[in-house]
Structure 1
């Protein structure tokens, strides 16, 4: 019985595929959404192998649909011979109409940006967490860095006291 629980715990830890750490530094993320993705078979195999990079990716809204652009999925060498894998193609994001309307309104009227935050597995399906974000100015980045350093220093002081 204990073996089953430990296997489940390791499966939960491995649920994350990729994280875009740069977003937290460059943007204020105000709201998060979970979206499914339309993927091809070779892309799913590459995701299972962890061959994705979200660093330069972003979310675009075209004709009332959300698309992930700039995400680089490296094709595996054992990919099928009859297809030509395209590493950086636009992938459709699956969101319900209410969420899409909210995102479209925020991006077009309020000047927000949609950024991919992380990709993970949920019930055997790849999910993308996207964030409604506003860009940080240079002084905002400095204050965030100072706050982070002060929190770290405070924890060190409390640990030794």
Structure 2
């Protein structure tokens, strides 16, 4: 039983994703309440391997409004991802390759726990993005023609 919290649609546009990993996310209580309220933005989120740990940067979780300033959290603080040691070593070796990065693809609930899906991807060039857009337009036109043909 998993339900979407947020997706990063920019990631599939800007990166060629060739591998995906599921990770847990270390959060504070007020962050979970803010996520339940939908006050989250993952469009610029990415992960980075530092030592033997993986951290999530750029994930904007707004502070919980009714919490006092002592219990609240910072909006864009680095959050630790919970992965196996073997997965961390594999991610470390994959990101050592020039141009590879770990963008956050989506965030979702699994049994009352927040999980994130990160992908290992290489950045697309401008011509790659144009090529993908052209393929999408051609596919849409072909589907439109098929539906017109089937309506007769």
Bin for the TM-score computed over the shorter chain: over 0.9
Q: Tell me the CA shift for residue 154 of structure 1.
A: 0.9
Find out whether 1:31 has 2:29 as its counterpart: no
Q: Tell me the CA shift for residue 98 of structure 1.
A: 1.4
Find out whether 1:153 has 2:128 as its counterpart: no
Q: 1:78-110: CA deviations, max 9, x gaps?
A: 124532421110000001111111110000135
| Aligned pairs, number | 149
Q: After TM superposition, list the pairs within 5 Å mapping 1:84-103 onto structure 2.
A: 84-103=72-91
Q: Which runs of 4+ in 1 moved over 4 A?
A: none
Provide the C-alpha distance between the structure 1 equivalents of 2:46 and 2:128, rounded to a whole number of angstroms. 22
Find out whether 1:71 has 2:52 as its counterpart: no
Provide the C-alpha distance between the structure 1 equivalents of 2:109 and 2:68, rounded to a whole number of angstroms. 23
Q: Tell me the CA shift for residue 24 of structure 1.
A: 0.8
Q: Which one has a larger percent helix, Structure 1 or Structure 2? A: 1
Q: Tell me the CA shift for residue 149 of structure 1.
A: 0.7
RMSD: 1.4
Question: Quick check: 2:30–2:72 contact (8 Å CA) kept in 1?
Answer: no
For structure 1, the 5+ residue unaligned runs are 1-10
Provide the C-alpha distance between the structure 1 equivalents of 2:41 and 2:33, rounded to a whole number of angstroms. 15
Provide the C-alpha distance between the structure 2 equivalents of 1:88 and 1:109, rounded to a whole number of angstroms. 27
Q: Tell me the CA shift for residue 131 of structure 1.
A: 0.3
- Name the TM-score, length of structure 2 as normaliser: 0.93
**3-state DSSP class of the match of 2:92?**
helix
For structure 2, the 5+ residue unaligned runs are none
Segment of structure 1 superposing worse, 72-81 or 45-54: 72-81
Which of the residues 20, 36, 40 maps onto 1:48? 36
Find the counterpart in structure 2 of residue 109 from structure 1. Answer: 97
